[in-house]
Structure 1
Amino acid sequence: MAERAAGPLSLPGDWPAQPDLSLSLNGMGTFDWDLASGLLYLDDQALDVFDTAPEEYDGRRASLADRIPPDEGARLDAVVARALGDGSTGYGAYFRRRRRDGTLRWTHTQGSIRRDDEGRAVRVIGIVRDAVQELADSTARRELAAVRRVQTTVVETTTAALAHARTVQDVIDVLTESGGLEHLGASGLVMGLLEAGRIRLVAEGPEGAHVPDVRVTRTDEEYPLNEVVRTLAPRFVESREEFALCYPDLWSHIRGFGINAGAYLPLIAQARPIGALGLLYGDKEGFTAEDRNLLVALSSGIAQSLQRAVLFEQDHDLAEGLQQAMLPRRIPAVPGAEIAVRYRSARLGRDIGGDWYDIIPLPGGRVGAVIGDVQGHDTHAAAVMGQLRIVLRAYAAEGHPPATVMARASVFLHELDTDRFATCTYAEADLSTGTVRLVRAGHIDPLLRETDGSCRRLPVPGGMPLGLSAFFGWLDYPVEILELDPGQTLVLCTDGLVELPGTDLDDGMGHLTGLVRDGPHDLELLADRICAVVDERGGDDDGAVLLLRRGGAGGPSPGGRLQQRVARGDPEGLSTARHMIRAAVGAWGAGARADEIELAADELITNALMHTGNGAVVNVRVLSGAERRLRVEVEDRSSTLPHRRDAGESGVSGRGLLLVDLLSDAWGVESRGSGKCVWCEFAVPDRPSP
């Protein structure tokens, strides 16, 4: 309404512009090509595109031969011929033209095809224009898109790799190995963790670079890692001069390593700094906005992964300490035996599990060997394992037979109010005779390595796992008796050394059998080899192995064993026991101490018959070793332990144990599962050589 009130509009005299003017002002020329005559009309702007003067052009395409390279002309002709022949109404193409100075420039042409009533192409009318800037802009966009794709790929691949990093070293390896630094254009990496107000370096830059006294620094010291931790802002050093000006102490040590720029990034997780990362460059010319955004985004993922790694290592240290506390601190020396043990931690979870081993010295020179596995891979499994190991050791040390040890351990685990069960193998070995009593509770079979190195599986009948047998009330555990010859080795292990990825139990047992067979003779080296091979094969479960070899000629050898039962109120049995002791003393070359041995033995037997209300079992045997000894054992079914007491001047009893103490070289009391055993030992001379 306002425009109408103001009167008619004032417009330029040549408005609207003619098409030829519009095209000319926008750098476009026109052409008209008559296909029948072959004449090609080019207006002045089109001739200018081809860098050709009007007088140089005669209206024929051949006049442009010097302006269109042959290969470009052939490609353009093919596009036009295809459009003319397939009934198209138009075409468009990019081609290069040659200017007078010889340079090539991109050109774009677009033609509209006119056809007669029968559809034959008779005329092409179109435009031609310079396309250099257009393609330059397009190329720039493609290059930028390519850069962004590369950056996105770097972030995605690095983030994916960091997802599998479990330790701080794993994080460093992801960034330094497999071309990680090359993708970022960096030549070195430095990383520090924040610990109690100090920065501790965990990666120290380019190989060979060393800055003294910076492995642990205070956060207020003037180093770039410390600065970004203080400010929580990234720091980009873009030249050698900036390095020298801002960090002279650091630059004096690294200037010889070809570094000219650095990007230092705070590592922030859950809104608090946990450390800092530095990327060092040898040929960087400043940091673009894209560079900075990429590195900041990448530092966030690295910080999250690093925090997981730090927490994992803390958990690992805690778990490893707990596991070591649960396992025996040392393995006792066992005369007549070689023993090697190993525990291999899990590779997943918290690196802790319920596997354990134990060696238990038993009365009478026997030894108990235990291998077991509590269900699960966590601190609860380790805690249950520790309790189970202790009670099983206590039951065995009390003298209970192997089947009873297993049954009582199962009842204990069932009453522990836990949902875990356990598998276990318990071997009670008498190294003087070589007799081994084996009991298996749901565990894998043991192996036996012969003196010639061959190895075989021992099919030991077994009962249910500990805890489950008590739950179902099936507490019977069959006992397998094995004769272990000198030089033979009993191999006990948990399923973590057998059940490996891609194999079933039988395949795993076969592989372990071959490994033991082909392994070194030395038990310590053999144990190391077993664990190392399992690591190489990628086992994810924890595992334990116990190797027990009976000694050869240097170990204990049986010197004879005699046994006599004496019932209470049985004078004949008492007399027989005395005759047995007297005969053994003479037969075994201990006649020089016959009176002492017989008197001490008589006191032990009499005490058992008088003070326990039950009968007694008398054992006499010779122990060989560094010193040959004759041992007298008197077992009874009373748990009351004897003790020395003062008989007084007029007392008629109370001097028995005093006499035993004075006459023997050693004496003691051992708890047995059904009572106790009182024993005494006498050093006797070696038998003369025949």
Structure 2
Amino acid sequence: MDDRVAGTPSLPDDWPAHPDLSLALNRMGSFDWDLDSGLLHMDEPALEVFDLRPGEYDKRPTSLALRVPADEAVRLDHLVSEALKGGRNDYGAYFRRTRSDGTLCWTHTQGFIRRDGTGRPRRIIGIVRDATQELADSTARRTVDEERRRRTSLVEGTTAALAHARTVQDVTDVLKNSQGLAHLGATSLVMGLLESGRIHLVADGPEGAYVPGTRFTRTDEDYPMSEVIRTLTPRFIESAEDFAASYPVLWPHISHLGITAAAYLPLIAQARPIGALGLLYGNKAGFTADERNLLVALGSSIAQSLQRAMLYEQEHDLAQGLQQAMLPRRIPEVAGAQVAFRYRSARLGRDIGGDWYDIIPLPNGRVGAVIGDVQGHDTHAAAVMGQLRIVLRAYAAEGHSPATVMARASVFLHELDTERFATCTYAEVDPTTGVLQLVRAGHVEPLVREADGSCRRLTTEGGLPLGLSAEFGQLEYPVNTVDLDPGQTVVLYTDGLVELPGEDFDEGMRLLTAMVSEGPQDLQRLADRLCEVVDERGGDDDVAVLLLRRSAAYPPHPGGRLQQHVAQNDPEALTSSRHMIRAAVRAWGAKDRADEVELAADELITNALIHTDGGAIVTIRMLTGSGRRLRVDVEDRSSALPRRRDAGDSGVSGRGLMLVDRLADTWGVESRGNGKSVWCEFVLPDRF
């Protein structure tokens, strides 16, 4: 009776197959190694693996030396010995074998160790099989994986490099210099940007590749870049014949370049075309699907970078125009002094900020030097800076003292509809006398470079930043008066020059002092050197620098004149006026009479402050004509004329005009519409 269940499909009589048949069909043989006798039995499939005939093998392992290289035999012996000594029950290994024709192939063996009751190994039973195809497939997989990783790395590396590109030229340079394009096999590239309906070629191929008349082309012309922009679809040209047939207008001009394939990609950003990229190949036929996907991915990354670069350039042009409009268009020449100025924008941001400089011509050869910094690095900071610069310039030109100029500028900034404050230094210089009156509003202290190159920090008193001093009602700004000798240089700067990333302020000041001291003697080259350091450091703040050097040989001009306002209850202004008079007398060659002039002027100023309700305006000037005369005028708002009187033996007043009469060669009083002026003159020798 047939015991097969009805409906069950019929099976072969030899099913299931014998294990020997399975091993043989899979090119796998077995072995049995008796360790006591040393005999190694291998069945026929095993001998076929080693490419041995039965007569060539005598069951001795040494017979396998014909097929197993010596270095592989040593490695296998070591592997088996370690398994036996280590108490393991199995081992496995890949090793190379030699065919009868001398070629090397890969073999895999797996052995099971049988031990007796004491744990001593007695036999090894196992298999051997041909592993050539297995390892070839594995190598192929590794090659494919490595190629995929390389392509992924290519996209990532190019994208990372493009992330640092700020301009269109930067993007082009990255693509031309990128090793990624070399890995892709491209010999060169062409790139065009869409501008007002035309394609502007911004990068072309190798030398001699430029086609005349293609610098600007229309999108409806028969060119590959025009086509991909119109269709928003990549175009892969797989042969020279394909190129010639598809673009008969262009091909005759580039056929000499040896192009065998090309890939043209539309550059799309925010769903609109901004340009096209073409990669040209000299030894390639066709593109695989992976290569096409890779190029499309690269095109997308390049398009995003180009859009950022184009937006940056637009903002940069706008910011640069605004910055230039806010800074002075030109700096006037200063008689008796050399001036150098520089502005460097921050490495990051919009290349715009609130730093500024200015030189303001003042009456009688004097000059105002300004350096300032409005809080922030944006267009608002630049706008505030422009307004503040103009206002400060106007106050100085009106003839106000440096302290008054700074106080009024602070009030203006406080009343402006802004939350910004500003630091500033204003220095009023007379190149003839070397008198420098300096006021600081929260700004860094200036430096002075001596004629011999040494440099020192000019320690001066200061007030609150502009805007803040008005808000807190502290508008008093100390005036610091110093003598600027011939050859000395005042270095005014903003804090971006000393604030180093990761360094403290004092360290930055030490470095700046060293740079100024060791820098070039030429003023323009020194300014360039300071800015080069800023560029190399790449700080996050913009920088303004203003250098002013008093000329070493500048003769006093005829009719020289200095003027200063001395307010009531302002001892600093009184001290400053004395300093101004002393410096002017020395500069004009009257140092032999310096004490007389200073004492007489001090008496006139004191009388004006004591006997009138307002302040006094002190003017010292050189008169020419019949001899050289130095004149001091002290003007006040009182119409009451002074008179000389005898103070008596016990009087404490009344001696002032007597002293002036004795010291000066002549003196007098002039009525003015809103007050009077008391003056005195001193005759000076013609030569000094």
**Aligning the two structures, in what range does the TM-score lie when normalised by the shorter sequence?**
0.7 to 0.9
Q: 1:9 to 1:242 in 2, by over 3 A?
A: closer
Could you say which residue in structure 1 is the equivalent of 2:349? 349
Could you say which residue in structure 2 is the equivalent of 1:683? none
Q: 1:229 to 1:561 in 2, by over 3 A?
A: closer
Residue 147 (structure 1) shift: 1.2
Residue 5 (structure 1) shift: 7.8
Could you say which residue in structure 1 is the equivalent of 2:39? 39
Q: How do residues 358-373 of structure 1 correspond to structure 2 at under 5 angstroms? A: 358-373=358-373
For residues 16-49 of structure 1, give each alpha carbon's deviation from its aligned partner in whole angstroms, at most 9, with x where no partner exists.
2111112222222222222222222222222222
For residues 634-661 of structure 1, give each alpha carbon's deviation from its aligned partner in whole angstroms, at most 9, with x where no partner exists.
97879xxxxxxxxxxxxxxxxxxxxxxx
Could you say which residue in structure 1 is the equivalent of 2:523? 523
Could you say which residue in structure 1 is the equivalent of 2:219? 219
For residues 88-115 of structure 1, give each alpha carbon's deviation from its aligned partner in whole angstroms, at most 9, with x where no partner exists.
2222221222222111211122222222
Distance 2:501 2:13 in 1: 89
Distance 1:431 1:455 in 2: 20
Q: 1:101 to 1:623 in 2, by over 3 A?
A: farther
Report if aligned partners of 1:50, 1:67 keep a CA contact under 8 Å in 2: yes
2:485 alignment partner AA? D
Could you say which residue in structure 2 is the equivalent of 1:278? 278
Could you say which residue in structure 2 is the equivalent of 1:120? 120
Could you say which residue in structure 1 is the equivalent of 2:470? 470
Could you say which residue in structure 2 is the equivalent of 1:411? 411
Distance 2:675 2:73 in 1: 112
Structure 1, 171-180 or 359-368: larger mean CA deviation: 171-180
Report if aligned partners of 2:364, 2:562 keep a CA contact under 8 Å in 1: no
1:168 alignment partner AA? V
Residue 141 (structure 1) shift: 0.5
Structure 1, 497-506 or 202-211: larger mean CA deviation: 202-211
Residue 479 (structure 1) shift: 0.2
Residue 285 (structure 1) shift: 4.3
TM-score (norm 2): 0.79
Report if aligned partners of 1:335, 1:556 keep a CA contact under 8 Å in 2: no
Q: How do residues 215-254 of structure 1 correspond to structure 2 at under 5 angstroms? A: 215-248=215-248, 250-254=250-254
Distance 2:154 2:633 in 1: 77
2:206 alignment partner AA? P
When the two chains are superposed, the root-mean-square deviation of aligned CA atoms in Å is 3.4
Distance 2:174 2:532 in 1: 24
Q: How do residues 562-601 of structure 1 correspond to structure 2 at under 5 angstroms? A: none
For residues 208-252 of structure 1, give each alpha carbon's deviation from its aligned partner in whole angstroms, at most 9, with x where no partner exists.
643333333222233333332222222223334434443455444
Could you say which residue in structure 1 is the equivalent of 2:594? none
TM-score (norm 1): 0.79
Distance 1:94 1:55 in 2: 26
SS in 1 for 2:432: coil
For residues 254-293 of structure 1, give each alpha carbon's deviation from its aligned partner in whole angstroms, at most 9, with x where no partner exists.
4555544333222211111222223333433432222222
Distance 2:631 2:493 in 1: 35
Distance 1:472 1:406 in 2: 15
Q: Number of aligned residue pairs: give it.
A: 595
Could you say which residue in structure 2 is the equivalent of 1:385? 385
Q: 1:28 to 1:555 in 2, by over 3 A?
A: same
Alignment of 1:109 with 2:109, yes or no, is yes
For residues 364-388 of structure 1, give each alpha carbon's deviation from its aligned partner in whole angstroms, at most 9, with x where no partner exists.
4322111100011111110111111
Q: 1:241 to 1:306 in 2, by over 3 A?
A: same
Distance 1:14 1:677 in 2: 139
Report if aligned partners of 1:47, 1:53 keep a CA contact under 8 Å in 2: yes
Distance 2:90 2:310 in 1: 67
Could you say which residue in structure 2 is the equivalent of 1:328? 328
SS in 2 for 1:78: helix
Could you say which residue in structure 2 is the equivalent of 1:310? 310
Report if aligned partners of 1:433, 1:557 keep a CA contact under 8 Å in 2: no
Alignment of 1:450 with 2:450, yes or no, is yes
Distance 1:407 1:190 in 2: 60
Distance 1:563 1:153 in 2: 72
For residues 172-192 of structure 1, give each alpha carbon's deviation from its aligned partner in whole angstroms, at most 9, with x where no partner exists.
333333634334443333322
Alignment of 1:92 with 2:92, yes or no, is yes
SS in 1 for 2:66: coil
Distance 1:337 1:375 in 2: 31
Distance 1:361 1:623 in 2: 22
For residues 580-622 of structure 1, give each alpha carbon's deviation from its aligned partner in whole angstroms, at most 9, with x where no partner exists.
xxxxxxxx9xxxxxxxxxxxxxxxxxxxxxxxx9999695744
Could you say which residue in structure 1 is the equivalent of 2:298? 298
Residue 406 (structure 1) shift: 0.8
Could you say which residue in structure 1 is the equivalent of 2:498? 498
Structure 1, 381-390 or 167-176: larger mean CA deviation: 167-176
Residue 9 (structure 1) shift: 4.5
Could you say which residue in structure 1 is the equivalent of 2:546? 546
Q: 1:306 to 1:378 in 2, by over 3 A?
A: same
Could you say which residue in structure 1 is the equivalent of 2:71? 71
SS in 2 for 1:151: helix
For residues 291-329 of structure 1, give each alpha carbon's deviation from its aligned partner in whole angstroms, at most 9, with x where no partner exists.
222222222222222211211111111111000011111
Residue 528 (structure 1) shift: 2.1
Residue 521 (structure 1) shift: 3.5
1:132 alignment partner AA? T
Structure 1, 466-475 or 348-357: larger mean CA deviation: 466-475
Unaligned regions of 5+ residues in structure 2, if any?
Answer: 566-587, 589-612, 639-673, 678-684
Structure 1, 90-99 or 221-230: larger mean CA deviation: 221-230
Structure 1, 181-190 or 417-426: larger mean CA deviation: 181-190
Alignment of 1:58 with 2:51, yes or no, is no
SS in 2 for 1:462: coil
Unaligned regions of 5+ residues in structure 1, if any?
Answer: 566-587, 589-612, 639-674, 679-686
Residue 631 (structure 1) shift: 11
SS in 2 for 1:470: helix
